Amino acid sequence: MEAASSCIEPYREMEEPTFDIDKAQVVVSDDPEKIYEEYRYLRKHCPLAHTTQYGGYWLLTRYADVKRAALDSATYISSVQAVVPRDPRGIRRPPLNFDAPAHTPFRTALARTLKPARLDRLAAPLQRHAEAQLRPLLEAGRGDVAAGFGARYVARVEAEWLNLAPDVAPRLAAAAAAWLRAWRLQDAATVTANSLVMYQIARDLLADRRATPRDPEEDPASSLLLERDAEGNPLSEEHLVGCLRQSLVVGVVAPPILIGSICKHLAEDKDLQRRLRGDESLLPAALEEFVRLYSPYRGFARTVSRDVSFSSCPRRDDDDEDDNQQQPPTTTITMIRPGEPVTLHYTSANRDPDVFARPDDFVLHRDNVAMHMGFGRGRHRCVGMPLARLALETALKVILRSTKDFEVDGPLQYSRMPELGIISCPMRFFCDDDGAERSSPSLEAQDY
């Protein structure tokens, strides 16, 4: 029996889930501040919690527990369930839903196209795209940096990396934006419809590369077609399409959320905004801290392959509810059984005070910022991390260069499970000396 936490009291096995949080903010809310507040409670008093929402799953919230699970890919497998909520169709897309060694050729193929030399060649096109997609917002004096600029810009980033035809990027941006809005509203029909759009983009891309292969160092689809599985066979059509579709979704969903969260932060911290605008050499360090502070995914799921035990909170008796409100629960040990899903809450781990001093504050040049898990950890760490860093730094650089100031200009909208952050962030921009306000066109009317 493995004890997966260093904070373990004498063992007392409990036969049922110890803390049902079906109505808790971390499960049902889309408000980040409420979720961060509850994470603080869970880390301190109930680091392993259970909910029956989304079919039932466990939540790991402490850094040490999340890291240990992320690094133990034999015990915590991805091939059964990798996200909460689970895909109702049971579709498994590599590399996210595959375990080693099956996932390895997909990661190898994608990583081949993300070497420093390729990123250097992408830098100038990405800057041009950022400038072009920000221009309508600057001309209007206001606009949405997440659902507007962010969605359109990252679609162009994906198009450059995947070498998509120019007319595909607007279609991808529109599908991703509609997919994210529908996901937030739990509109299954619209989610499926826009997922199929992205699947078709992936199929068309793969068919084109089969007919006309490109340099595998420069083209992800061509690189995937070169790979072989552990038995030396070509990767299946279904899995190749699934891998490309997975890349499309991750690449266009998470970055706009992070762009929105960063811009909101800078709109509220004018000193930091001015400092970064005046010294672009600070941007890489600032972005790492922003990724730690505003990780756009609550976490990913694993399925336990054998019995494991964690420190957790005890079962509460209903008639003791009032007393329990006054006193935090004592730590106990709970078993997770094989086949049960567990979520690794990177967002909570990144704000664990046992690892990060002043965890809820932005600290530029934080000594241990490299320990953050904003891109995951272990075998499933984000393979697109180098491109994400380049794209985010480019976006922030262009926004700061193009403005003298900006501020939040309306109500925010937030993402739901499994993402966490801002999906709609209206901003007012000041580019002229007088900061003159301009009229704002409808975001729906803008070309995605």
**Structure confidence by residue, pLDDT tens digits, 121-165:** 999 999 999 999 999 999 999 999 999 999 999 999 999 999 999
**Cα distances (Å, whole numbers) of residue 199 to 172, 205, 318:** 10, 10, 48
Say what the pLDDT of residue 86 is: 76
Residues 6 or more apart whose CB falls under 8 angstroms from that of 230 comprise 101, 102
Neighbours of 368 (CB within 10 A): 10
- Residue 42 · residue 25 · CB < 8 Å: no
Q: Tokens 């507007």 map to which residue?
A: 148
Average pLDDT, the chain: 87
Parent domain of 366: 2-445
Instruction: Answer with the residue of higher pLDDT: 313 or 438.
Output: 313
Which of the 8 DSSP states describes residue 281? Answer: G
CA distance 215 to 45: 53
Q: What is the dihedral of CA 353, 60, 420, 196, to 10 degrees?
A: 150
Question: Considering the chain, what percentage of its residues have pLDDT values greater than 70?
Answer: 84
Alpha helices in 334-413 (DSSP H): 346-349, 385-402
- pLDDT at residue 53 in the model: 85
Q: Which two tokens stand for residue 17?
A: 């889930």
Q: Identify the residue with better confidence: 343 or 52.
A: 343
How many domains, in total, are found in the chain? Answer: 1
CA distance linking residue 322 with residue 325, whole number of Å: 5
Q: Are 263 and 399 in contact (CB under 8 A)?
A: yes
pLDDT range class, residue 103, cuts 50, 70, 90: very high
- Spatial CB neighbours of 434, under 8 Å, sequence gap ≥ 6: none
Contact 216, 209 (CB under 8 A): no
Count of positions (residues) in the chain: 448
- Which segment of 52-56, 244-248, 290-294 scores lowest on mean pLDDT? 52-56
Q: What is the domain-level CATH number for residue 216?
A: 1.10.630.10
Task: Write the pLDDT tens digit of every residue in 374-427.
Answer: 999 999 999 999 999 999 999 999 999 999 999 999 999 998 888 899 999 999
pLDDT range class, residue 24, cuts 50, 70, 90: low
Residue 95: asked if its preceding bond is cis (omega within 30°), the reply is yes
Q: What is the largest CA-CA distance in the chain?
A: 70
Q: Give the pLDDT mean for 279-301.
A: 96
With beta carbons less than 8 A apart as the criterion, state whether 163 and 151 touch.
no
Q: pLDDT value at position 133?
A: 98
| pTM over cut 0.85 | yes
Q: Which two tokens stand for residue 168?
A: 């595909």
Q: pLDDT band for 331, please (50, 70, 90 cuts).
A: low
Contact 342, 303 (CB under 8 A): yes
Note the pLDDT of residue 50: 87
Helix axes 116-140, 151-162, angle to 10 degrees: 150
